[in-house]
Chains A and B, each alone.
Chain A
Amino acid sequence: GAVVSQHPSRVICKSGTSVKIECRSLDFQATTMFWYRQFPKKSLMLMATSNEGSKATYEQGVEKDKFLINHASLTLSTLTVTSAHPEDSSFYICSASQGTRGYTFGSGTRLTVV
């Protein structure tokens, strides 16, 4: 079946630094990738939708300059959290879609900003 690989699974960074999270579709070409954020004991909140080769579409309230999304190829999307602060600590999850094949989720990245 379709597999999405998300790395790193855990990352701890210092406040003020940037962190990049990668999401790769391993056996299919993902025309669309989605990035979610999840706080403890809460639901997944969509941050942005990215299509290969075009700018990401951000949900209301999500700062595009803080959460940089790049979808440079049909198998790779990255989320960069710039100038991270403790309030950015969260669980980030990507999902990839390929037309009629539905959605495949990555395993998530636990970001802790200290």
Chain B
Amino acid sequence: GESVGLHLPTLSVQEGDNSIINCAYSNSASDYFIWYKQESGKGPQFIIDIRSNMDKRQGQRVTVLLNKTVKHLSLQIAATQPGDSAVYFCAENAGGTSYGKLTFGQGTILTVHP
């Protein structure tokens, strides 16, 4: 459930560094995972997804790693840029229904310093 009163985790990096954002999920039945980027006042923007039959997937400058054993998901952003500054959420679909409801993680605030 929601952690009332807790602030979102934050990650500050310098431009050009690599960023790693982590997410723990709770539902072992989840079979589809998505990373989203959300800028202030906007809706979530799709970054990359991965299914439970994979443990790694790469996109442009981003890589998602999935460890089902410990129910952990990570997003790696290479050569982070100021435009990457945003809140990042992982989301899981517990399966049963293709593209059924998503459960979002708490989010991480990424700040990239020029």
- Contacts A44-B89, A103-B34 hold; do A108 and B7 have CB atoms under 8 A apart? no
Residues on A lying within 8 angstroms of B by beta carbon are 6, 32, 34, 36, 41-46, 49, 91, 93, 95, 97-103, 105-108, 110
Closest B residue by C-beta to A49: B101
Q: Is the interface of A mostly helix, strand, loop or mixed?
A: strand
Known: A42-B106, A105-B43. 17 other contacts (CB 8 A): A41-B8, A42-B2, A42-B8, A42-B107, A43-B104, A43-B105, A43-B107, A49-B101, A93-B43, A98-B99, A101-B99, A103-B34, A103-B46, A103-B99, A105-B45, A107-B43, A108-B42
Q: State whether B2 touches A100 (Cβ < 8 A).
A: no
Q: Do A102 and B104 touch across chains, with their CB atoms under 8 A apart?
A: no
